[in-house]
Chain A
Amino acid sequence: MARPADVTTAESSAVEAHEPTAPHRLSSAGAAAEWVDDRVGAARLGKGLIRKVFPDHWSFLLGEIALYSFIVLLLTGVFLTIWFKPSMAETQYDGSYQLLKGIPMSKAFASTLQLSFDVRGGLLLRQVHHWAAILFTAAAVVHMLRIFFTGAFRKPREINWLIGIGLLSLSLIEGFAGYSLPDDLLSGTGLRFVDGLIRSIPLVGTWIEFFVFAGQYPGTSIIPRLYMAHILLVPALLLGLVSAHLALVFYHKHTQYPGPGRTEQNVVGYPLFPVYMAKAGGFFFVVFGVLVLMGGLMQINPVWKFGPYTPNQVTAGSQPDWYMGWVEGAVRITPNWEWHLGHTTWSWNIFLPGVGLMGLLFTSLAAWPFVEAWITGDKREHHLLDRPRNAPTRTALGVAGMTCYAMFWIAGGNDIIATHFSLSLESITRFMRVAVFVAPVIAYHVTKRLCIWLQRRDQERVLHGSETGVLIRTPEGGYYEPHEPITVDQAFVLTQHDEMDVLDATEGANANGLPPRDGVVVSKRRAALSRWFLADNLAKPTREELEHAHDHGSSAALTSGSDHD
């Protein structure tokens, strides 16, 4: 203790090194923050984060719903592991559900019954877990659609888009593994299906089957293995990816919708602390609470009604969880193509719709940001979201993809449709085979037209104000509909978007008459794609047109939406 004087300052005997100049009374939260900062220097980090601004929009809640459902899955899942036994060893049921007493079944199924009937609150946790799984996948998909249609995947957010695709595919695997654990008749049927998918893989299918099932189907290893994947491997990967996903959102700062004062260089909204934290934290509790209410009031996966799995029984009209429905549909309507070459069998009827289609979906989703950037040649950063109508080709493609997915999904219920509407299965299947190709094309064209029509309407509103829906009769007997002026704020939103020129093939000149830049080669095909992607956009009105329209006094001028600036 040679030099105590060094660690204290003249004014204070504490370690406090940088007392604020003006005495400043800290709240108790502030005092806690100080305590932490003294030990880990959190203020340096925190000051950049704590007042970080988050824009507000209902569509930004979709990702939050997915995140909160995931947390609920972690919490309820840990509870379930306390009682669930991942074993396929046979046992005789001796619990309190009378209808299955004395029936031989796997320990996995027996412990699921125990959870449902003998553990107080066990049924609630099972049902909350299952509803959370359904909400999680649904919210993740809708969240992805939001990202797609608003162009939020564009530079610099491509990596986060890829992480999102990884999250989505992992959550399908996670959901499937969980669905298989109770070892009831439905989950066994699902496993049988996956066994068929694995076997259909050319060359290595049988090898993979034997490795996955530790021999032939079903064996006794698959449930313990799926359990390991379900509670350890996949959740760990999901957790890692979710963290990276959120870190990138933080780092890039959230995108925002166009609006007055919103630019590519700023972000307008509420600070993380306290407003966003309270809203987002509150929203977590709302999602959690709603899931608990659902678990209490809405039955899901009543495994005791299906009974234990035996490979020679199946429940008619059995349906997988919603997120597997489209694969189911694809498998139902694919024609029975199979090659028998020499000693080998190539089951395209299963491989194409099962393995192939899923691969195609995830590959094209992953590739899209890069494809679009290549088509447009646009390598700029984007932080303002597109209004979907202003990217008509992208929007139309997205709707076409959704339509195709919906057709497959509907085909997954072809037997239900057949019995409900007394139609023949054959005609529904034949119809759906055509529909998965034709409906997306129709959807594409309708959507694109609709977007252009909306662009035109935006233009009209900017130039002539919005329709009032009132017809006025003139003394001469004519009719007209007076237009109401729109505010400057609205007019700005309708006209703020960038316009990109179509890329011209290298020999020719650019549409503006500007020569192509040195060293840049644009192929004919790329130029054609660029035309396809951009050419149909309506040019937005110029300032001259705007002034002209207003001079003509077409009943509407812009009213000032705000007094400042």
Chain B
Amino acid sequence: MGIIGHIGRYFLLLRETFSRPERAGIFWRRTLEEMDLLGVQSLGIVALLSAFMGAVITIQTKTNIDSPLIQAWVVGFATRQSVILEFSPTVISLILAGKVGSNIAAEIGSMRVKEQIDALDIMGVNSAGYLILPKLAATILINPFLVMISMFLGIFGGWLAGVQAGVISSDDFILGIQTGFKPFHVTYALIKTVVFAFIITTISAYQGYFTRGGTREVGISSTRAVVYSNVVILLANLVLTRVLLL
């Protein structure tokens, strides 16, 4: 199947996903389960990555702009901007595409090859809606929180590393992160996060849903889910940044 065929089938799957939802009670229970699996269980990796990356960003910024002409607080300012605008929404989403995307594709893919999706269809359940919608709701609701936690920990990691390494004083760093703060940048980051969550979940679900064959193919779907999600996230990042920031 060519790329056009895949895109067409992807949108048909989306339409199917949103048509004829299950009973609200069942939907919300499944969404909560998915929030735990896809969101809460990603907290550890997100926290770890953010703190360390924030630390490295601060130290690198300091070495890059080590000049008597530039005031000390700029390091704090630059750390905040990098973390909020790009690191937390985009890099964390790429990481989540790896973790959550492969999980979604593998789960739905193995349900496909084990005929569990056929079993749902036979019962008259809308399998696409039943399987995909709760995951989509879960990632769209919880990824913004993950990213906000990432922003906080990234900046905190930068502060800790900067002060510890003696590259910046605590006061300068705090002055820096307060300087020229635009709330819209957080909005921009969260809009990106929600769009990326949609991309990760739907592309990975698509890969899983149309798996054919056996366990080997489930592995292939899972890899494709990550690769395609990443590529589409990068494209969407560019488009959104042009539209929202310029």
Partners in one complex: no
Interface residues of B (CB under 8 A from A): none
